[in-house]
Amino acid sequence: MSGRLRAPKGTHDLLPTDSERFAAVEACARRVFSSHGYGEIRTPTFESTELFARSVGETTDIVHKEMYTFPDRKGRSLTLRPENTAGVVRALVEAGIQETPRPIRLWYAGSQFRYEQPQAGRYREFRQIGVELLGVAGPAGDAEVLAMLFEFLGELGFQDLIATLNCIPRGEARAAFSRALQEHVRPRAGSLGAEDRRRLEENPLRLYDSKDPEAQRILEGAPSTLDFLDEGARAHHVRLQELLRAAGVRFVESAAIVRGLDYYTLTVFEVASERLGAQNAILGGGRYDGLVESLGGPPTPAVGFAIGEDRLVAAMEADAREARPVIFVIPGSAAELDYALAVSASIRALVPGAIIETDLTARGFPKGLSRAAAVLERPERYGFRASAVRAVLLGADERQGEKVTVKNLATGEQRSFARSALAEELGMARDR
Ligand code: AMP
């Protein structure tokens, strides 16, 4: 049977314009994060299933019902990574985190996989850009990653975003908070679904992940995380806020941000954009002081965040792609193809950042120019943003006289000059 194949549900292709937008965002991440001393890490797309059960948490939605888990040919249970922090920590422990000078500053970008119900802004394969800072216990660590995050968002043109900040109690205080939450919800549990009743008994903090409006309504009157902080946690939270104000990071406090992963301790935060509609969280992050130890490493405080790159790109008004000159080099006939290739190579060397496309069909100027016109009409199919567009026409005269004819495709103006004058004549990066 033949039929057209489609991408699996919940995935999306990035064709040239989209892929260039993503690449521009990733280039900006690399520039900003590396300027703060963060190095890039790339970990495998799949890991042993146990890694996620031990880190993200058995009773979280992610591990409970959203993982792509499969046995390999030898029967080992593997899982496509649903997030990247666990893999980063696993890699560091494996590489010998004890010997690595602290703090450890890392960033990553890559695909993550969750079996969720696809809708606008929610995919089964999506991309995250994340940052991990390990080895800093104090609130200056949280402040560094948040300030760097806002610098990055600012570079991408987001001027008005606000972080929502909370502090989750740890240790005995967390247990007390969980009990208080259970006591608040239990008398009302009759109106909850089976899933939320399971959360209530197994891991009450996870009730905050519920999408049921009834659960959300019940939680509105629930005890606040902030009333359960031990003294050290409170001091951390207060000092972090001072540091964020000093760094100019805009935030509001909210006891309702609890986040869907078990490894968070103390600081948690999110940033949302109203431009995105219902699935409006662009990113989430927080502190995970216990994770390294639970994965077999030495006690290591840590803090980080993960940005949903697909949502980030969707929320961007400005186009982060760099505009580049586009030059179509068109031979008049097959006899000028060698000359055209040589001229293309010289232009590529002379105009850094330009896109030079040679008409390899060599079917003449009208056909070559109509290809250029088609690209100009549907630039979104081409991928690049053009700052200036030219055609370089190379007929027999040009070839014999070592000349070139350059046509400005915006104005139609056309000029011929010696090939040796290309350098001066192509000072075109700035005009349109
Ligand atoms: P999390 O790893 O759950 O803390 O999510 C961090 C960010 O990743 C979220 O704020 C979203 O922007 C993004 N994200 C999470 N799940 C998805 C998904 N299924 N599709 C697209 N983006 C997602």
Mean pLDDT of the chain: 93
Cα 356 to middle of ligand 1, angstroms: 38
Residues 158-174 have pLDDT tens digits of: 988 999 999 999 989 99
Residues 291-333 have pLDDT tens digits of: 999 999 999 999 999 999 999 999 998 888 888 999 999 999 9
For 410, half-sphere exposure in the C-beta direction (CA atoms, 13 angstrom radius) is 10
Residue ID of nearest Cα to ligand 1 atom 11:
308
Q: Using CB atoms within 10 Å of the CB of residue 277, give its burial: 0 to 12 exposed, 13 to 18 middle, 19+ buried.
A: exposed
Across the beta sheet with 46-48, what order do the strands follow?
46-48, 77-80, 69-71
Q: Identify the band that residue 431 occupies on the pLDDT scale cut at 50, 70 and 90.
A: very low
Residues 211-242 have pLDDT tens digits of: 899 999 999 989 999 999 999 999 999 999 99
Residues 348-402 have pLDDT tens digits of: 999 989 999 999 999 999 999 999 998 888 877 788 888 889 999 999 999 999 9
Q: Would the CB of 284 count as within 6 Å of ligand 1?
A: yes
Q: State residue 430's pLDDT score.
A: 39
Cα 395 to middle of ligand 1, angstroms: 55
Cα 221 to middle of ligand 1, angstroms: 27
Q: Would the CB of 125 count as within 6 Å of ligand 1?
A: no
Q: In sequence order, what are the residues at sequence separation of 6 or more whose Cβ sits closer than 8 angstroms to the Cβ of residue 381?
A: 15, 16, 17, 375
Cα 259 to middle of ligand 1, angstroms: 11
Q: Would the CB of 122 count as within 6 Å of ligand 1?
A: yes
Residues 257-275 have pLDDT tens digits of: 887 677 889 999 999 988 8
Q: Would the CB of 223 count as within 6 Å of ligand 1?
A: no
Residues 114-123 have pLDDT tens digits of: 999 999 999 9
- Alpha helices by DSSP H, 267-357: 291-294, 309-315, 337-350
Q: Would the CB of 186 count as within 6 Å of ligand 1?
A: no
Q: State residue 417's pLDDT score.
A: 96
What is the pLDDT averaged over residues 13-36?
95
Cα 322 to middle of ligand 1, angstroms: 27
> What pTM was computed for the model?
0.91
Q: Is the pLDDT assigned to residue 428 strictly greater than 60?
A: no
Q: Identify the band that residue 429 occupies on the pLDDT scale cut at 50, 70 and 90.
A: very low
Q: Would the CB of 62 count as within 6 Å of ligand 1?
A: no
Residues 51-86 have pLDDT tens digits of: 999 988 887 888 888 999 999 999 999 999 999 999
Residue ID of nearest Cα to ligand 1 atom 12:
308
Q: Identify the band that residue 10 occupies on the pLDDT scale cut at 50, 70 and 90.
A: very high
If one compares 183 and 160, the residue with the highest pLDDT of the two is: 183
Q: Would the CB of 118 count as within 6 Å of ligand 1?
A: no
Cα 224 to middle of ligand 1, angstroms: 25
Q: Identify the band that residue 1 occupies on the pLDDT scale cut at 50, 70 and 90.
A: low
- Residue 312 CA, closest ligand 1 atom number: 12
Q: Omega of the bond prior to 103 within 30 degrees of 0, cis?
A: yes
Q: State residue 58's pLDDT score.
A: 82
Cα 173 to middle of ligand 1, angstroms: 28
**What does the block give as tokens for 276?**
């995105």
**What does the block give as tokens for 109?**
């970008």
Residues 322-355 have pLDDT tens digits of: 889 999 999 999 999 999 999 999 999 999 899 9
